[in-house]
Chains A and B, each alone.
Chain A
Amino acid sequence: MAQVMFDERADQMAVSGEGPFRISCDKESLAGAVSQRACVFCGSRVVLYPIADALHLVHGPIGCAAYTWDIRGALSSGPQLHRLSFSTDLRETDVIFGGEKKLLAALDELIARHHPAAAFVYSTCIVGLIGDDLAAVCRQAEARHGIPVIPVMSEGFKGNKRAGYLAACQAMFKLVGTGDTSGISPQSVNLLGDFNLAGELWIIRGYLERMGVEVVANVTGDGRVADIRRAHGAGLNLVQCSGATMELAKMMEEAHGTPFKRVSYFGVEDMSQALYDVAEHFGDPEMMARTRALVKEELDRLYPQLMELRRDLEGRKAAIYVGGAFKAFSLVKSFRLLGMQTVLVGSQTGTEADYQELAAITDPGTIIVDDANPLELMHWLKEKGADVFVGGVKERPIAYKLGLGFCDHNHERKIALEGFSGMLSFAREIHRTVLSPVWNFVPRIGGRPS
């Protein structure tokens, strides 16, 4: 293996189809390796951010709030409070003398100004060190203002992004069960782990509506505090992006008996399966009939267009590096539908079970990697000869410098990729990058297109 690889990380990458599959994951990132991962705070902020009528106050120095100001495509149909970036902007004196007073005053000021339905107060590295009692300040503010003021224990250094997801779930769980559930249909669901990027969650809600299923709470895309409070009244939790919200689903199952199903809305297969799973769960033959009709109608419309794009894409190779591994399953299948082979797939925070499944669904010889860095990604992209790389903003320059196409599948995206219509958008995204004439002129690892 090339000298750019880190010995310490040797067990965090593996090749599918070569004997029993073993991979190590969920480890702390290696110092100096330039991990593509973020921190605990990032994990919490990502999950809670789209709750649009809540105040999201970052207790810390300015950076943490500044870097998360309105950069995501998480849309709201109503309030836009989540798009503002609130911070206590801690300074040297606060670090020395403590930031509790400033935090309380900031909460007073912002709650009076914006009248939010609840407030989330995010802890950052520094708060964990200077010993501010976040919970006590939140209790005080809650008593004073009569809205839930919830501490999110998201000190950046206390684990990786997954720990942040857990902290966010714990914060949300404080709201669940506090609202009135009367009038909720038994055939109802909560949508967990969908952040309504570019309005994706609305696509899914549209399908569920056509099936006759009520959606109680969006967790958290286009999210509302009141909906989350009555989420325990729903008949079923649908968990997408399982890394982020699975813990909430488990807590709700234990405390409120709400069953859950793991789903993905990306790609034709997984999207259809998700809808059938819902219909099957409710055991209503009429709903199942409506679901079949829906899927048929959507596929009839989608397939001719997809097949046209497939003609150009057939035989091309794809590489995938995303935050959570669950999304990667759907991407592998989506590429296969387009006649493309996945040669590299990795994630920041996948679990061993995730990677086992990836090994099972990919072609033999596919590289599977946990918590990669630019050096490793570059190495594998070159060795496997990919035509297009799917990732986020941090992966984009890696693709472009190597002369590969790129598709943004991260939270900043402004194009809806979920659902049947999203599959078409995805295929068009891949087509427009892979088939671009610019590849005729630029240096690229795979050589010029023939």
Chain B
Amino acid sequence: MSQPINAAPNYVSTTNACKLCMPLGACLAFKGVEGCVPFLHGSQGCATYMRRYLISHFREPVDIASSSLGEKQAVFGGGPNLKQGLVNVINKYQARVVGVATTCLTETIGDDVPALVREFNKTAVVEGGGRELPPIVTVASPSYGGSHLLGFHRAVAALVEQLATEAGPCHGGLNLLPGLLSPADLRHLRALCEDFGLATTLLPDYSLTLDGVAMAEYQLIPEGGTPLTAIQTMARAKATIELGRSLENLPSAGRVLERRGVPLHSLASPIGLRGSDRLVETLEHLSGRELPEVHRRRRGQLLDAFIDAHKYLAGVTALVYGDEDLCLGLTSFLAEIGVRPLIVATGGELGLLPAWVDSVCAGLTPEPPQVLAGVDFWQIAELARELKPELILGNSKGYPLARELGAPLVRVGFPIHDRFGAPRQTVVGYQGAMELLDRITNAILEKRQDDSPVGYGYL
């Protein structure tokens, strides 16, 4: 068995957090709904900070509205500002859905946001003839309540809970709840499902809203996203696939739909060969079709690359950090290709990461890695200095540590603020595994080449 959670010293203070806050995750999820404006009920700073963080990663406009509460509203309640903000977002931004996420401030002053929204719905009038009042989805996401990943999952669950209410006969389509992935990952998953002939509702789908095209027009709300009508009929799908083991013990969107009669298939994030195989098996089962030839060939090419790369990677030791779902997927993949993960670390506290990590490493690595949950980069660094991993996988926030250790950092996850092209990175499926394998192997080769006194150009 791996070390228990928090084998690292348990400090009171946090230094260089290995997580972000709940409302950020909620806003990201809302960006994946067509015509949706994410709206933070709180002080102005939260929206601005998160916008900047998301813009720097995606290099796309990320408009997040705020109720911009001041001191008066903190005392007397934020209701009037919330309502005024909704009016502006609906009339001026022409939102077709509004995703309201709460913040520390409004959770603590006790604003009953669902009740305020119900009141608003009764009285509000939309400017411009013929437009109906758009649905307003609310989610409780105080920063003190959990990480950005929890905020993301909660927002997806809220969308389904509040919008997927249409009853009726099964429409035969598939619901795919992908978890927190890149726009390229979302595109890949959609294409994969469609290649099986499955009409798929992907929620959320920010593959276009956060990786848009050049257009000489700043759209009020970028095109793309899961259509509202598709979300409304999700309870009439024939099955739901929900990706991410961190959802196992949460009242997730998949479970909401299961309660409404849609069979649920819970899988880990499909990262690496085995993770991708599990997803493919499920799709084969649901579609009654075999893996289409184009993907079968991709899988074969991946295995071929496994062989070609294995000696470069044999025994290379690694540190993996990030959110729980990504950490588990990456660790599973590293174990498959002969890399030895020494440390798997997350700032989050969802689920049973140590047990999951053990299960994906079993039989592949000499010993399971140490798993640190609920830690910061100070704790990760202390253990990393001791164990000296040769390779690091994670977001940009581990760069200072990578620099200190002289180990190459393969940038995966969120945020990537010091490299270009984050929205176009794929990690899921055979395609994603292939790209990861290339990047990891090249990082090792580059390091050995740079460190070599000879400097061979033929490796």
The verdict on B459 contacting chain A, using a C-beta distance below 8 Å, is no
**Which chain A residues (51-94) contact chain B, with CB distance < 8 Å?**
57, 60-71, 84-92, 94
Question: Using Cβ atoms and an 8 Å threshold, which residues of chain A touch B214?
Answer: 400-401, 403, 442-443
- Do residues B48 and A38 form an inter-chain contact, with CB atoms below 8 A? yes
- Do residues A126 and B108 form an inter-chain contact, with CB atoms below 8 A? yes
The verdict on B32 contacting chain A, using a C-beta distance below 8 Å, is no
- Do residues A398 and B69 form an inter-chain contact, with CB atoms below 8 A? no
The verdict on B339 contacting chain A, using a C-beta distance below 8 Å, is no
- Do residues A91 and B103 form an inter-chain contact, with CB atoms below 8 A? no
- Do residues A160 and B44 form an inter-chain contact, with CB atoms below 8 A? yes
- Do residues A86 and B49 form an inter-chain contact, with CB atoms below 8 A? no
Chain B residue at smallest Cβ distance from A89: B14
Cβ-defined partner of B93 (8 Å) among A40, A125, A375, A398: A375
B325 shortest CB reach to chain A, Å? 19
Proximity string of chain B (58-92) to chain A, C-beta cutoff 8 Å, 1 when within and 0 when not: 01111111111111011000000110111111001
Cβ-defined partner of A445 (8 Å) among B49, B59, B69, B216: B216
SS class, residues of chain A in contact with chain B: loop
How far apart are the CA atoms of A63 and B60 in the complex, in Å? 21
How far apart are the CA atoms of A130 and B104 in the complex, in Å? 11
- Do residues B19 and A62 form an inter-chain contact, with CB atoms below 8 A? yes
Chain A residue at smallest Cβ distance from B145: A92
Proximity string of chain A (345-362) to chain B, C-beta cutoff 8 Å, 1 when within and 0 when not: 000000000000000000
The verdict on A39 contacting chain B, using a C-beta distance below 8 Å, is yes
**Total contacting residues, chain A, CB less than 8 A:** 76
Chain A residue at smallest Cβ distance from B222: A401
The verdict on A109 contacting chain B, using a C-beta distance below 8 Å, is yes
Cβ-defined partner of B84 (8 Å) among A32, A35, A37: A32
The verdict on B133 contacting chain A, using a C-beta distance below 8 Å, is no
- Do residues B68 and A444 form an inter-chain contact, with CB atoms below 8 A? no
- Do residues B88 and A69 form an inter-chain contact, with CB atoms below 8 A? no
Question: Using Cβ atoms and an 8 Å threshold, which residues of chain A touch B52?
Answer: 67, 392-394
- Do residues A36 and B48 form an inter-chain contact, with CB atoms below 8 A? yes
A119 shortest CB reach to chain B, Å? 11
How far apart are the CA atoms of A95 and B109 in the complex, in Å? 11
B97 shortest CB reach to chain A, Å? 15
Question: Using Cβ atoms and an 8 Å threshold, which residues of chain A touch B55?
Answer: 393-394, 396-397
Cβ-defined partner of A109 (8 Å) among B13, B59, B69, B82: B13
Contacts A67-B52, A157-B73 hold; do A40 and B45 have CB atoms under 8 A apart?
yes
Question: Using Cβ atoms and an 8 Å threshold, which residues of chain A touch B227?
Answer: none
A130 shortest CB reach to chain B, Å? 7
How far apart are the CA atoms of A437 and B120 in the complex, in Å? 50
The verdict on B51 contacting chain A, using a C-beta distance below 8 Å, is yes
Contacts A32-B39, A94-B144 hold; do A394 and B215 have CB atoms under 8 A apart?
no
Cβ-defined partner of A66 (8 Å) among B21, B61, B64, B142: B21
Question: Using Cβ atoms and an 8 Å threshold, which residues of chain B touch A267?
Answer: none
- Do residues B85 and A106 form an inter-chain contact, with CB atoms below 8 A? no
**Which chain B residues (399-426) contact chain A, with CB distance < 8 Å?**
400, 417
The verdict on A41 contacting chain B, using a C-beta distance below 8 Å, is yes
**Which chain B residues (20-61) contact chain A, with CB distance < 8 Å?**
20-21, 23-24, 39, 42-53, 55-56, 59-61
B329 shortest CB reach to chain A, Å? 23
How far apart are the CA atoms of A378 and B219 in the complex, in Å? 9
B8 shortest CB reach to chain A, Å? 14
New contact pairs (12) apart from A31-B65, A64-B143, A129-B109, CB-CB < 8 Å? A28-B68, A31-B68, A32-B85, A32-B88, A39-B45, A42-B48, A64-B45, A69-B17, A85-B15, A125-B43, A397-B55, A397-B59
* B binding-site residues for A, Cβ under 8 Å: 11-17, 19-21, 23-24, 39, 42-53, 55-56, 59-71, 73-74, 81-82, 84-89, 92-93, 103-105, 108-109, 142-145, 212, 214-220, 347, 397, 400, 417
* A binding-site residues for B, Cβ under 8 Å: 3-6, 28-42, 57, 60-71, 84-92, 94-95, 102, 105-106, 109-110, 124-126, 128-130, 156-160, 374-375, 378, 392-394, 396-398, 400-403, 442-445
